[in-house]
């Protein structure tokens, strides 16, 4: 008998969490409608925020780069719904969805994109550096893979403190080819730290297909070579992501050591909001819009009795919330110029004549 794909060398092994996915598929005739509707709301808010940010960039209200996660909302919602408020997350440069799903305030996020004093970092951080320790968001990060050692360090602190909190670490498939990935997973496994690694595999490292620059069979096999069990999941299926994450979080919180979630997905926009993504065939992108996680979730809810009007209202509420965040952000003041000299490590860099 030929080996199944999961049994072939280098492929992620089938484990109990994989069986959870099968159970989730079997249970679609009897879903928790309230929980799935919650996912639909979360994903709609993420989409509305990023569409508003995209328009604000075009209108000249945002001066820095904006990296959109449109098409990847299912991973953020499916993972974060299983975390406690005190659990930590780290993110990457595409972190709006993770941050909103963990419970951050949309208005403060938009103000940060607009470099306003009411933003999360008082306008200093922009899109790629939003953090909110009150909800356990340790920060987005503009350096590929840099969130991994931060997550591992936080997880090690949790273990030393005897804390039950865990860390979920989001990164893209491009990060697996950087040193922090190998160093971070190795350290996490050596000390069996409470960290869930979440690889959002959208197939691209910036503008390059990741498979063109990746040796070997890929993210899951690489994690398992370091002793970290990998569970693959369809990242555009928010119900499956939710189910399998619940299982993995229970293992991590129970002292089972690090776990690796390999979520395949697709970003439907370019690397940045200003990137037309002409390196991808238009037909490929059009086909992947048919796999949009929000559309799939809407279809599932419609199948379970929610009307089009109810679902449209969820979308309308999210769009209105984002529009209000834009209005508040534009009305907020810019930070005082003297603030540029606070929160910096090099205390000797103050300009002549003061300013501190």
Q: What's the order of all strands across the beta sheet hosting 230-234?
A: 88-90, 167-172, 195-201, 259-264, 230-234
Domains detected in the chain:
32-331 (3.40.50.970)
Sheet strands (E) in the chain: 88-90, 167-172, 195-201, 204-205, 208-209, 230-234, 259-264
pLDDT tens figures, 279-307? 999 999 999 999 999 999 999 999 999 99
Q: What is the DSSP code (8-state) at residue 263?
A: E
| Model confidence at 19: pLDDT above 80 | no
Residue 338 has pLDDT above 90, yes or no: no
Q: What is the Cα–Cα distance from 272 to 275, expressed in whole angstroms?
A: 5
Kindly tell me if the per-residue pLDDT of 145 is higher than 80: yes
Q: Where are the alpha helices (DSSP H) in 161-292?
A: 179-190, 219-225, 238-253, 282-289
What mean pLDDT do residues 326-345 have? 90
- Confidence class for position 14, pLDDT limits 50, 70, 90: very low
At residue 5 the predicted structure's pLDDT band, cuts being 50, 70 and 90, is: very low
d(CA 103, CA 208): 32
Q: Which residues make beta-bridge pairs with 171? A: 199
Residue 11 has pLDDT above 60, yes or no: no
pLDDT at 136: 97
Band the pLDDT of 3: cuts 50, 70, 90.
Answer: very low
- Residue 100 confidence (pLDDT): 98
**Token pair for 80:** 């974060």
Residue 171 has pLDDT above 60, yes or no: yes
pLDDT, tens digit, for every residue of 227-257? 999 999 999 999 999 999 999 999 999 999 9
Contact yes or no for 188/158 (Cβ under 8 A): no
Contact 98/91 with Cβ under 8 angstroms? yes
pLDDT at residue 27 in the model: 59
Which pLDDT tens digit goes with each residue over 40-76? 999 999 999 999 999 999 999 999 899 999 999 999 9
C-alpha–C-alpha distance, residues 325 and 53, integer Å = 10
Extract the tokens encoding 208. Answer: 């390059």
Residue 132 has pLDDT above 60, yes or no: yes
pTM score of the predicted model: 0.90
Q: What is the pLDDT of residue 6?
A: 35
pLDDT in the model for residue 25 = 60
**Can you tell me which residue has the tokens 């968001």?**
137
Please tell me which residue, 10 or 329, carries the higher pLDDT value.
329
**Per-residue confidence (pLDDT) for residue 349, from 0 to 100:** 59
> Which has the higher per-residue pLDDT, 187 or 17?
187
Is residue 23's pLDDT more than 60? no
- Residue 106 to residues 101, 267, 284, Cα–Cα distance (Å): 10, 21, 32
Instruction: Look at residue 9 and tell me whether its pLDDT is greater than 80.
Output: no
Mean residue pLDDT of the chain comes to 91
Q: Tens digits of per-residue pLDDT, 88-130?
A: 999 999 999 999 999 999 999 999 999 999 999 999 999 999 9
pLDDT of residue 22: 58
């Amino acid at each position: 008998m030929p080996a199944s794909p999961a049994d072939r060398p280098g492929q992620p092994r089938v484990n109990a969490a994989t069986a959870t996915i099968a159970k989730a598929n079997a249970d679609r005739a009897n879903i928790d409608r309230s929980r799935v509707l919650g996912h639909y709301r979360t994903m709609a808010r993420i989409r509305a925020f990023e569409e508003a940010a995209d328009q604000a960039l075009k209108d000249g209200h945002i001066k820095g780069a904006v990296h959109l996660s449109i098409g990847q909302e299912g991973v953020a919602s499916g993972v974060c719904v299983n975390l406690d408020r005190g659990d930590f997350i780290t993110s990457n440069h595409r972190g709006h969805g993770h941050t909103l799903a963990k419970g951050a305030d949309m208005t403060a996020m938009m103000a940060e994109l607009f470099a306003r004093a009411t933003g999360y970092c008082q306008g200093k951080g922009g899109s790629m550096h939003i953090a909110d320790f009150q909800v356990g968001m340790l920060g987005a990060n503009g350096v590929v893979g840099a969130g991994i050692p931060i997550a591992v360090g936080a997880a090690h602190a949790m273990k030393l403190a005897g804390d039950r909190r865990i860390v979920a670490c989001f990164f893209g498939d491009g990060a697996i080819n950087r040193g922090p990935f190998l160093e971070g997973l190795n350290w996490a496994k050596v000390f069996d730290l409470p960290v869930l690694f979440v690889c959002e595999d959208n197939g691209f490292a910036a503008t390059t297909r990741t498979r063109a620059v990746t040796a070997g069979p890929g993210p899951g096999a690489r994690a398992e070579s370091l002793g970290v069990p990998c569970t693959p999941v369809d990242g555009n299926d928010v119900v499956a992501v939710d189910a399998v994450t619940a299982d993995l979080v229970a293992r991590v919180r129970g002292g089972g050591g690090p776990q690796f979630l390999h979520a395949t997905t697709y970003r439907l926009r370019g690397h940045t909001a200003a990137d037309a993504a002409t390196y991808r065939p238009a037909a490929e992108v059009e086909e992947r819009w048919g796999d949009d996680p929000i559309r799939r979730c809407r279809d599932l809810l419609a199948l379970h009795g929610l009307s089009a009007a109810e679902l449209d209202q969820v979308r309308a509420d999210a769009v209105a919330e984002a529009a209000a965040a834009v209005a508040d952000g534009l009305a907020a003041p810019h930070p005082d110029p003297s603030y540029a000299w606070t929160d910096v490590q090099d205390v000797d860099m103050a300009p002549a004549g003061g300013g501190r």
